Amino acid sequence: MSSAGARTIPLLHALGLVVANMIGTGIFTTTGLLAEELRDPLWILGAWLLGGVLALCGADVYAELGAMMPRAGGEYVYLSRAIHPAAGFLSGWVSLIVGFSAPIAASAIAFASYVAAALPAVPRRPAALGLIAVVTILHMASVRWGSRVQTVFTAAKIALLVSFVIAGLVVGRGTWEHFALGGGPPTPSRLAVALIFVSFAYSGWNGAAYIAGELKAPGKNLPRALLGGTAAVVMLYLALNVVFLYALPPPAMAGEIEVGHVAALSLFGPTAGSILSLLIAVALVSSVSAMIMAGPRVYLAMAEDGLFFRPFARRGRRSGAPWASVALQGGIAIVLALSATFDQLLVYIGFTLSVFAALTVLAAFVLRSRAPDAPRPYRARGWPVSPVLFLLLSLWMATYAIVTRPAESLAGIVTLAVGLALYWVRRRPAAMRSDSHV
């Protein structure tokens, strides 16, 4: 396991990383899917609030683990130590397929939907595939230029969301009467599927854990970044959904992927709505770029450790970019964008990541039992309520996902099984080499 590098990242940058990782495709797309499942404004807001509580519970436990093991790698470090190296490998495998490649595909599909909503002549699928290809090539070519593009787009995205909330409530043509159009409580299965959609939108709350090895004073700053960044995004998401519901009643947005577009049309009219849709599309470029930039660091580290194929440890001689890992991730994202619909990707991502986040939270219980006296600069404030609540809600969502969306859930289970098989295939030659020296 690699040791910590130079600790140069301050708290403010770590907070920004959490916020930038969380604010992505989900907030621009999932409220329309929630409206189809829940149909009631207060239940829609309640689902966003409950999803935020779930994210905060997870962040509380991850803060303890990250402060205890302040090295780069996140779940890869925690699960390898607490459970087994195979579990650590699986975390990297899940990052490749579900944590980054699938969300890149979903973000690209959402980008194309928003562009097509404003410019109907633009074909959706070529636009989605083109975005993945162009940004992948950019990050293969240069770390410096990729970082600059990412910084600009992230700042633009946050400014856009704050401006949309203020303008929508101050000058938008909405009505608070939409909040009185209740549809009654949803069935447990519909609520569980809605929470999976919301979990996808909140994914990224663990972003600062991946840079723990480079963070200044991680014992103090990692918990602040994880919890502070997550809390800020929860408040912003709730504000945005208030604006969406102020603009439209749930039946008018049900099933809409480009919910920001239809809300903007209702609030500001067709011209302003189309302009805002293009701005949202630009913001989604930030999401794609962030994931294409961050994900390959995990596969690169695994390849350097001998747990993944060695060619994916290659970097450009002059640029330093991990071009082989970037290319692998981009290729998988293109395949997923060609083979799945947007809502299928969301359930697949939400189900699989919820299962793996629950496994990581379970690791905290294992370490408290196995190493009760180990140094813990931060102890989860909500223990044991926060981890137990996280585990119970994750289990509940996973169970209903298997029952109501079996194809997507099976795809997640197959992804884990393939990763486990790959681990043992990669480990067997190493074990045989060790035996030959005995």
Concatenated DSSP letters of 90-158? HHHHHIIIIIIIHHHHHHHHHHHHHHHHH-TTS-HHHHHHHHHHHHHHHHHH-HHHHHHHHHHHHHHHH
- C-alpha 305/C-alpha 148 separation (Å) is 29
pLDDT higher than threshold 70 for residue 47 = yes
Q: How far is CA 277 from CA 351, 380, 398, 404, in A?
A: 29, 40, 33, 32
Domains of the chain: 11-427 (1.20.1740.10)
Q: Indicate the pLDDT class of residue 4, thresholds 50, 70 and 90.
A: very low
Q: Indicate the pLDDT class of residue 423, thresholds 50, 70 and 90.
A: confident
- C-alpha 154/C-alpha 212 separation (Å) is 21
**Segment 150-170, tens digit of pLDDT:** 567 667 778 888 888 999 999
pLDDT value at position 229? 87
pLDDT value at position 153? 67
pLDDT value at position 196? 86
pLDDT higher than threshold 50 for residue 1 = no
Q: Indicate the pLDDT class of residue 148, thresholds 50, 70 and 90.
A: low
Q: Tell me what percent of the residues of the chain surpass a pLDDT of 90.
A: 22
Q: Lowest-confidence range among 50-59, 165-174, 422-431?
A: 422-431
**Segment 174-207, tens digit of pLDDT:** 999 998 877 778 888 889 888 888 988 888 787 7
pLDDT value at position 214? 65
More confident residue, 71 or 350: 350
- C-alpha 181/C-alpha 101 separation (Å) is 38
Mean pLDDT of 397-419: 87
More confident residue, 344 or 236: 236
More confident residue, 211 or 85: 85
**Segment 88-114, tens digit of pLDDT:** 888 888 888 888 888 899 889 989 988
More confident residue, 286 or 410: 410
pLDDT value at position 208? 65
More confident residue, 200 or 51: 51
Q: Are 286 and 108 in contact (CB under 8 A)?
A: no
pLDDT value at position 257? 80
pLDDT higher than threshold 60 for residue 5 = no
pLDDT higher than threshold 80 for residue 245 = yes
Mean pLDDT of 64-78: 79
Mean pLDDT of 278-292: 81
Across all residues in the chain, what is the average pLDDT?
83
pLDDT value at position 50? 93
pLDDT value at position 431? 47
Which amino acid is residue 62, in one-letter code? Answer: Y
More confident residue, 290 or 318: 290
pLDDT higher than threshold 60 for residue 144 = no
